[in-house]
Amino acid sequence: MKSKYSNQKEKINIEEIKEAAEEIKKGNLVLFPTETVYGIGANALNEEAVKKIFKAKGRAGDNPLIVHVSSIEMLEKIVSNISNIEKRLIEKFWPGPLTIIFNRKSEKIIPNAVTANLNTVGIRMPSNEVARKLIESSEVPIAAPSANISGKPSGTNVEDILEELQDKVSYILDGGFSDIGLESTVIQVVEDKINILRPGKITKEQLEEVTKNVQVDSHVLHMVKESEKVASPGMKYRHYAPNTKCIMVYSKNEQKMIDKINEITKEEEANGKKILILGKKQHLDSYISNKKWSIGSSKAEIAKNIFTLLRKVDNQGVDLVIIEGVGQEGLGLAITNRLIRACEYNYINL
Ligand code: TXA
Ligand code: MG
């Protein structure tokens, strides 16, 4: 399939967004930007179209998709019994990077393929203008997972994902680099408690402004054991990990962290191994390895850079990637959650 490309980087081109919306209406797939990461979208009401997403990504059928809406009317057609806490979350954080797991309407307007047969459906209203205009012009909610082959880091810019996805979508809307760079915060409200199933830009601290009762699901930072039931099926799967072995090292004491990373480097280099360090810009001079990349100097920069960097480590001829961890406060929880998976739970916390 030859996909049509539309440049939406500097200025919105509404005519081309409408062309892409025609593809959604026809049951085809569109690659589009959101403020978090790119999505591969299909008409969420069309089961056959949604199945194409699973095929394009090689995604397990038991991993439900997020549905993207552009208005509250669209939301109300899909879900039932929006609670007071959910209403407050919507008021405060939509449009924006927060996915809420709602109860699905009993008429099952959203097909089972989207929700992996669950009685719930994850919904968000993106703030990215191209995404919103695409949904509005399509006149249907759009089901969209992150744009990547399953297991790989999510696409934060078109260049990174063009090769793996261009043959699989009918239209590409290129909105440049994603503002945030990590996927949305996924939460579920159970009675008067907010459960964070996947951390993101909307932090635990921000959610606590709505209710003090906010809990982080244990699988955010710990591996799912085989016998365990998970609140969010996506947590079971291998994710973000390059083929090269990665290890994350973190300590609140920066000097201790730098010393540990240098110690591992020395040991591994003595065994003939080649090391790549991914560290904060301000720490790079302290590392003895001669191959080192900056991940940025703030959490916001690290969030934005990390997926595109993880995609590049495999063809560097290195045996081990050592990644600096960050503290878990604020956006740090989301960064830690993604890095732990990239390192396949191989991390040292001093
Ligand atoms: O920022 C984002 O959320 C991006 C952009 C494109 O919107 N989308 C995204 O989708 O990250 P995906 O499919 O890569 O991740 C969706 C996550 C998965 O972990 C999935 O298991 C979970 O949300 N999820 C979706 N529906 C759910 C449901 N009904 N119950 C529990 N978890 C759900
Ligand atoms: Mg994903």
Span 322-334, pLDDT tens digits? 999 999 999 999 9
For residues 214 and 196, give the distance between their C-alpha atoms in angstroms, rounded to a whole number.
Answer: 7
Domain 245-349, CATH among 3.60.21.10, 3.40.50.11030, 1.10.3720.10, 3.40.50.300: 3.40.50.11030
Distance 96 CA to ligand 1 centre (A): 14
For residues 76 and 89, give the distance between their C-alpha atoms in angstroms, rounded to a whole number.
Answer: 15
For residues 179 and 167, give the distance between their C-alpha atoms in angstroms, rounded to a whole number.
Answer: 25
Determine the average pLDDT of the residues in 82-109.
Answer: 96
Pocket around ligand 1 at a 6 A CB cut-off: 34, 36-37, 39, 63-66, 99, 101, 115, 118, 120-122, 144-146, 183-184, 186, 197-198, 232-234
The pLDDT of residue 235 is 77
Residue 172 host element (H or E): strand 171-174
Q: Tell me, which fold does domain 4-220 have in CATH? A: DHBP synthase (3.90.870)
Q: Where does the pLDDT of residue 239 fall: very low under 50, low under 70, confident under 90, or very high at 90 and above?
A: confident
Distance 258 CA to ligand 1 centre (A): 35
Distance 200 CA to ligand 1 centre (A): 12
Q: Point out the ligand 1 atom lying closest to the alpha carbon of residue 68.
A: 7
Q: Where does the pLDDT of residue 238 fall: very low under 50, low under 70, confident under 90, or very high at 90 and above?
A: confident
Determine the average pLDDT of the residues in 183-207.
Answer: 97
For residues 50 and 115, give the distance between their C-alpha atoms in angstroms, rounded to a whole number.
Answer: 10
pLDDT (tens digit, 9 = 90+) per residue, 241-300? 999 999 999 999 999 999 999 999 999 999 999 999 999 999 999 999 999 999 999 999
Q: Choose the residue to mutate in 183, 238, 240 for probing ligand 1, maximizing ligand atoms within 8 Å of C-beta.
A: 183
Nearest to 183 by CA among 145, 150, 216, 143: 145
H helices, E strands: number in the chain? 11, 17
Determine the average pLDDT of the residues in 155-171.
Answer: 96
Complete DSSP assignment for 49-64: HHHHHHHHHT--TTSP
pLDDT (tens digit, 9 = 90+) per residue, 121-151? 999 999 999 999 999 999 999 999 999 999 9
Determine the average pLDDT of the residues in 71-94.
Answer: 97
Q: Where does the pLDDT of residue 23 fall: very low under 50, low under 70, confident under 90, or very high at 90 and above?
A: very high
Is the pLDDT at 7 greater than 90? The verdict is: yes
Residue ranges per structural domain of the chain:
4-220, 245-349
Q: How is residue 230 annotated by DSSP?
A: -
Distance 145 CA to ligand 2 centre (A): 6
Q: What is the mean pLDDT of the chain?
A: 96
For residues 272 and 290, give the distance between their C-alpha atoms in angstroms, rounded to a whole number.
Answer: 14
Determine the average pLDDT of the residues in 48-56.
Answer: 97
Q: Say if residues 333 and 186 touch (Cβ distance below 8 Å).
A: no
Q: Which residue matches tokens 């249907």?
A: 140
Nearest to 223 by CA among 213, 212, 237: 237
Q: Point out the ligand 1 atom lying closest to the alpha carbon of residue 144.
A: 6
The pLDDT of residue 1 is 72
